């Protein structure tokens, strides 16, 4: 561990290191309010709307960063 | 129903499979109206997150319309539009009551397997291997949502699917990165990785009062999206990141730094040289860890780093996931 995380250097800079899987349930309601208030429009990130049937091809495009893919959204209900 | 199923490394297919049903009074079943492919789904595609079984349904960024409810779900009704967190959390355990939902210790039936491989088990997750519960994901026409009285929230009619969907994962994930970075008004924040989560970390840092965000990547369209979101950028394929950060911050370095899972090169040494106050790291460069390694505790401050339990947990995981 010590050879991968330079704790000595971190200590000498007085760093705080935080980690964590997202506590999603703690953020959904307040962030929904920010969306409703118009502070942010999260749809900016969508580059590739697609159908569910297209998903296998989109996985590979996304993995290989082809065609400018940043975010794929599938619409199975349509 | 139709669903995106895993069949092996590099092999996902859309198959016809049985529709999900209510299995517990706290379940709901939703008709998926929108779902997304996450960068971490690529770990599954590429075989980095075992164990997977043929036919497992992927997808943990989900929203849809409630079509069926268990008897104990009283906060939702049939027909509600909901967005569903990717973490399945009970809302009742010690962790959930502290707001540490992703550490819920009641929703991963295979917690022992996860603890053996990663030191500690997180909550169960949708569509993310049997180590994390073996729950079916939502890249499908329908999804069973366990703990439906805690996770899903209703989407107001004024908010379209494309705006609400990312509350399932990448918006809160980028936002929590910015929260963890302890940003003070006017701070300069460096963000490594401009994938989808990085994009939300950039915008969240600005929402939380950052004065400047310096975003680091090498993919032109991702750097362009970062700039559109208000960040300055550094292309690490063309520029020495450490030198450039020091140049742009009057040799002091950024106030805080955040590393997204998009980063695949070792940067920790440079990070400690750059950052002066705080930093958040969500997962590790793939050069060091072949698995989607998850830190075992929500907020690791210096004291936990020194505890024998923490060191032991880290050592265990390090051995198990190292190439």
pLDDT in tens, B80-139: 999 999 999 999 999 999 999 999 999 999 999 999 999 999 999 999 999 999 999 999
- Tell me: pLDDT of B281 over 90: no
Mean pLDDT of chain B: 85
Cβ contact B257:B189 at 8 Å: yes
Residue B251's pLDDT band, with cuts at 50, 70 and 90, is very high
The pLDDT of B34-60, averaged and rounded, is 96
B258 by DSSP, 3-state: which? strand
The per-residue pLDDT for A78 is: 62
Q: What share of chain B is helix, strand, coil (3-state, %, to 5)?
A: 30, 25, 45
Chain A CB contacts of B101 below 8 Å = 23-26
The pLDDT of B157-171, averaged and rounded, is 98
Nearest to A25 among B151, B294, B299 (CB): B151
The pLDDT of B223-238, averaged and rounded, is 97
Among B126, B167, B293, most A C-beta atoms within 10 A, so best to mutate, is: B167
Residue pLDDT tens, chain A, 78 long: 456 788 888 899 888 889 899 999 999 999 999 999 999 999 999 999 999 999 999 999 999 999 999 999 999 976
Chain A CB contacts of B292 below 8 Å = none
Chain A CB contacts of B83 below 8 Å = 28
The per-residue pLDDT for B266 is: 41
Report the relative pairing of strands A72-74 and B188-192 from DSSP bridges: unpaired
Chain A CB contacts of B222 below 8 Å = 70
Cβ contact B147:B91 at 8 Å: yes
Q: Which of A62-76, B117-131, B244-258, B267-281 has the lowest mean pLDDT?
A: B267-281
The per-residue pLDDT for B312 is: 45
Q: How far apart are CA B111 and CA B109, in angstroms?
A: 6
The per-residue pLDDT for A3 is: 60
Q: How far apart are CA B7 and CA B2, in angstroms?
A: 15
The pLDDT of B225-235, averaged and rounded, is 98
Nearest to B36 among A25, A60, A73 (CB): A73
Chain-centre distance of CA B42, in angstroms?
13
Strand partners, B189: B213, B256
Q: How far apart are CA B106 and CA A29, in angstroms?
A: 23
* pTM of the shown model: 0.86
The per-residue pLDDT for B40 is: 94
A3 touches chain B (CB under 8 A): no
Residues 25-54, chain A, touching B (beta carbon < 8 A): 25-29, 31-32, 34-36, 39-47, 52-53
The answer to whether the CB atoms of A74 and B176 lie below 8 A apart is no
Chain A CB contacts of B169 below 8 Å = 22, 24
- The nearest CA of chain B is from the CA of A38 a distance in Å of 10
The per-residue pLDDT for B321 is: 33
- The nearest CA of chain B is from the CA of A61 a distance in Å of 11
Chain A CB contacts of B89 below 8 Å = 25
Q: How far apart are CA B22 and CA B245, in angstroms?
A: 53
Q: How far apart are CA B131 and CA B133, in angstroms?
A: 6
The pLDDT of B294-317, averaged and rounded, is 36
Chain-centre distance of CA B269, in angstroms?
24
Cβ contact A55:A74 at 8 Å: yes
Nearest to A21 among B102, B175, B300 (CB): B102
The pLDDT of B199-216, averaged and rounded, is 97
A57 touches chain B (CB under 8 A): no
- The nearest CA of chain B is from the CA of A64 a distance in Å of 10
The pLDDT of B5-23, averaged and rounded, is 98
Residue with the bigger pLDDT between B148 and B286: it is B148
> Tokens in use for B317?
């995981």
Strand partners, B232: B214
- Which one, of B112, B3, B113, B110, lies nearest residue B59 by Cα? B3
- Tell me: pLDDT of B238 over 90: yes
- Tell me: pLDDT of B226 over 90: yes
Angle (CA) B133 B137 B143, round 5°: 115
The per-residue pLDDT for A4 is: 73
The pLDDT of B16-43, averaged and rounded, is 97
The answer to whether the CB atoms of B123 and A31 lie below 8 A apart is no
Strand partners, B14: B4
The per-residue pLDDT for B283 is: 31
The per-residue pLDDT for B298 is: 25
Chain B CB contacts of A73 below 8 Å = 34-36, 162, 165
Q: Which of B127-141, B244-258, B276-290 has the highest mean pLDDT?
A: B127-141
The answer to whether the CB atoms of A31 and B175 lie below 8 A apart is yes
């Amino acid at each position: 561990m010590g050879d991968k995380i330079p704790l000595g250097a971190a200590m000498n800079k007085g760093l705080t290191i935080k980690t964590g899987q997202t506590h999603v349930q703690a953020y959904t309601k307040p962030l929904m309010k920010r969306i409703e208030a118009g502070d942010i429009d999260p749809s900016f990130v969508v580059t590739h709307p697609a159908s569910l049937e297209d998903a296998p091809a989109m996985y590979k495009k996304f993995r290989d960063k082809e065609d400018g893919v940043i975010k794929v959204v599938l619409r199975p209900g349509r | 129903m139709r669903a995106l199923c895993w069949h092996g490394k590099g092999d996902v297919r859309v198959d016809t499979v049985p529709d999900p049903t209510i299995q517990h009074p706290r379940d709901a079943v939703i008709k998926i109206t929108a779902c997304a492919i996450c960068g971490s789904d690529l770990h599954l595609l590429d075989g980095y997150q075992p164990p997977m079984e043929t036919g497992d349904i992927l997808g943990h960024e989900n929203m849809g319309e409630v079509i069926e409810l268990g008897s104990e779900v009283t906060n939702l009704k049939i027909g509600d539009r909901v967005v569903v967190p990717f973490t399945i959390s009970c809302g009742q355990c010690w962790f959930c009551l502290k707001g540490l939902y992703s550490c819920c210790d009641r929703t991963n039936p295979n917690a022992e397997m996860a603890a053996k491989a990663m030191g500690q088990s997180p909550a169960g997750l949708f569509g993310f291997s049997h180590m994390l519960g073996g729950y079916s994901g939502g890249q499908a026409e329908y999804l069973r949502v366990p703990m439906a009285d805690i996770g899903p929230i209703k989407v107001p009619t004024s908010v379209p699917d494309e705006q609400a969907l990312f509350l399932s994962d990448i918006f809160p994930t980028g936002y929590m990165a910015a929260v963890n970075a302890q940003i003070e008004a006017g701070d300069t924040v460096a963000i490594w990785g401009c994938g989808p989560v990085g994009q939300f970390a950039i915008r969240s840092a600005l929402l939380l009062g950052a004065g400047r965000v310096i975003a680091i990547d090498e993919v032109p369209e991702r750097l362009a999206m970062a700039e559109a979101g208000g960040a300055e950028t550094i292309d690490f394929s063309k520029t020495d990141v450490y030198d450039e950060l020091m140049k742009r911050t009057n040799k002091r370095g950024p106030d805080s730094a955040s590393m997204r899972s998009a980063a695949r090169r070792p940067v920790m040494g440079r990070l400690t040289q750059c950052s002066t106050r705080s930093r958040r790291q969500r997962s590790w460069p793939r050069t060091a860890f072949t698995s989607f390694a998850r830190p075992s505790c929500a907020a690791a401050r210096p004291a936990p780093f020194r505890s024998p339990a923490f060191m032991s947990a880290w050592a265990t995981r390090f051995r198990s996931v190292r190439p």
